[in-house]
Structure 1
Amino acid sequence: MDIPFTRKMQWPEVASGRFGSLIRTDSHEGCKIALIGAPDDTGVALNHGITGAALGPDAFRVALTRYGTSQPEGWDWPGVYDAGDVIAGSTLTETHNRLTHATGELLDAGLFPIMIGGGHDLTFPFVRALAKRHDTLSGIYFDAHLDVRAEEGSGMPFRRLVEDCAASRLDAIGISPFANSREHMHWFHSHGGRIDALEPHGEWPGENLFVSFDLDVLDASAAPGVSARNPMGWSVHHACDWVLAAGKCPRVRCFDIMELCPPQDEGGRTARIAAHLLLTFLRGFAARPAGSHA
């Protein structure tokens, strides 16, 4: 499958017992999942953050090759197609437009898109492709920050999804009260946003859901390789409860893992966590009822 403004990825030779050996790059036939890399951190720079997340997709792929394929009886890993990386444009808007187009191609091919980034602003164009194909849209995101700034940058995706894509409901989970302004908190609540109002195994409202995972929701002691470290974040175990539930939910239509910043990552720990989160999501996805994968 040829998608304009994307770069095909070449995976290294991986032993058959490793998960990387299951990734397809030649064809999406027989696959249910499509990985798309978003190697851009222009939005982080615009917000005067620590850059380096443009290297996130490559580090993620390396980490993923190191995991095995052991699995319980009674289920199989869903087929995964690596659609490559979106090539950044000369402006943030151009990059966003390219990502929306690439994601739309994957959706139209019947694939479930999973994005690895990259600045969190890229969630906006990623989910915009979904919004163009559904009348209603709701979202759940795991993040220390609300990301509802008015100005362009990595801190604006969810405001844009409300204003430009008519997202009817946002649930933010893991928000740090010391990492957000009163102005942003007021905007979020005034537009119907809710904070920590869901449970991983409870009922998630909405027919067409996007789920976004910013790695800075994790505690810095476990995940130092992010654009903004969190001194009071989640444990990986807690995060996996949520991600497994997202994978299982048949109304979740896309998923992303964002803000992986390899220059900040001591020993590649955060990249390995990101890869573990993907595998956790896929484990949940495999448990979805037949016919509910798209």
Structure 2
Amino acid sequence: MSLPHTIPGVWPASIPSSRFASLIRRELPDLAPPGAVALLGLPDDLGVRLNNGRPGAALAPAALRDALARYAVASPGGWSWPPTFDAGDITPAAGNDAASLDATHQRITAATRMLLERGYFPIAIGGGHDLTLPFARAAILHHRAHGRDVKGCVYFDAHLDVRPTHGSGMSFRRLIEDCAISRLYIHGFSDLANSAEHLTWFRQHGGITRDDPAGVAEGRWKPDCPYIASFDLDVIDAAHIPGVSAINPAGWSVRDAARWVSRLARDPGCVCFDLMELSPPNDPTGRSARVAAHLLLTFLQGFSQRGGT
């Protein structure tokens, strides 16, 4: 299957057969096997730069592939990995302005919709958090076209990302305004990182803020309808993951983040998932990419318990 606007992902030349990454298939069948997952790289950080943030997230897909090649066994005990395919990387549109960002967004939506039409569960790796907008939009449009009304959103982020201007902080405002998403839960929200204006707007449009890292507090954590899911890595403490676009000095532990990712993965109400804002140049040690790989693997492990898309 030829996916529009993509190029093949780059992997290390040699991956031991004992590693999970050796199982990831590079060619996409026209029809996905049951329970198949497709990884789509979103190597673009124009939105971050338009927000005057720290660039580097464009290198996230390559860094994650490199980390995956060195982490996780191919044959875990008691369960099996879901069929996993590498759908390649989106080729961003040329330019450095809002129109260029919109053009890249259109490419992401087109490629993701094709994956969904062929039966794959899509997982995106990025990239500026604005890229959640076109990725999730594809899932929303696909499922609505097939009679499943996706109106919910669960995301993990220190920031609301409801800015009215183009940039990495635009995604959830546009999902509300353009895609009729009306039931949103944000986990890891920081009072210190969001304006009163944005918080008021968010709550007026169906948003609920939560900060329950361990996932033990009473109350709902997700909407009562199908939902898109997004994980901004800046919800994790900078001590664990300094390689993100905006570091968080008071974030979650990796263990807490992994528990939430596993919960999402096991829930059939979750129709897509992304890991965003990994910024490898801001962490020369490479441990941030390894944390991102751990969360991706955790999602795949949980997803294997669903038995399908």
* Alignment partners' CA distance in 2, 1:174 and 1:85: 29
- Listed as ranges, the matches of 1:143-222 within 5 Å are 143-196=157-210, 200=215, 204-222=222-240
Matched, 1:47 2:51: yes
Q: Is the 8 A contact 2:129 2:232 kept in 1?
A: yes
Q: Normalization by structure 2: what TM-score? A: 0.90
Look up the equivalent residue of 2:8 and give its one-letter code: K
Matched, 1:67 2:68: no
Q: CA offset at residue 267 of structure 1? A: 0.6
Name the SS for the 2:286 alignment partner: helix
Q: CA offset at residue 10 of structure 1? A: 4.0
Equivalent of residue 263 in structure 1, options 271, 281, 286: 281
Look up the equivalent residue of 2:77 and give its one-letter code: P
Q: Is the 8 A contact 2:116 2:122 kept in 1?
A: yes
Residue by residue over 1:70-116, the C-alpha shift from the partner in whole angstroms, topping out at 9 and shown as x without a partner, is 5221x210011100000001200110000000000000010000000
Name the SS for the 2:225 alignment partner: coil
Equivalent residue, structure 1, for 2:14: 13
Deviates more, 1:27-36 or 1:267-276: 27-36
Matched, 1:35 2:74: no
Residue by residue over 1:119-151, the C-alpha shift from the partner in whole angstroms, topping out at 9 and shown as x without a partner, is 000000000001112233211000010000000
Deviates more, 1:171-180 or 1:190-199: 190-199
Equivalent of residue 249 in structure 1, options 256, 267, 286: 267
Aligned pairs, number = 290
Matched, 1:128 2:128: no
Q: Where does the alignment leave 5 or more consecutive residues of structure 1 unmatched?
A: none
Look up the equivalent residue of 2:25 and give its one-letter code: R
Equivalent residue, structure 2, for 1:228: 246
Look up the equivalent residue of 2:63 and give its one-letter code: A
* Alignment partners' CA distance in 1, 2:281 and 2:71: 22
Equivalent residue, structure 1, for 2:97: none
* Alignment partners' CA distance in 2, 1:272 and 1:19: 14
Equivalent of residue 84 in structure 1, options 82, 88, 92: 88
- Relative distance call for 1:286 and 1:184 in structure 2 (3 A) is same
Look up the equivalent residue of 2:296 and give its one-letter code: L
* Alignment partners' CA distance in 1, 2:264 and 2:77: 20
Q: Where does the alignment leave 5 or more consecutive residues of structure 2 unmatched?
A: 95-99
Look up the equivalent residue of 1:54 and give its one-letter code: A
Residue by residue over 1:21-74, the C-alpha shift from the partner in whole angstroms, topping out at 9 and shown as x without a partner, is 01100234536000000000000011010101001110011001111225221x
Q: Is the 8 A contact 1:145 1:179 kept in 2?
A: yes
Equivalent of residue 139 in structure 1, options 153, 156, 174: 153
Q: Is the 8 A contact 2:43 2:58 kept in 1?
A: yes
* Alignment partners' CA distance in 2, 1:59 and 1:203: 31
Q: CA offset at residue 159 of structure 1? A: 0.3
Look up the equivalent residue of 2:198 and give its one-letter code: H
* CA root-mean-square deviation: 1.5
Runs of 4+ in 1 over 4 A off after TM superposition: 197-203
Name the SS for the 2:285 alignment partner: helix
Q: CA offset at residue 161 of structure 1? A: 0.2
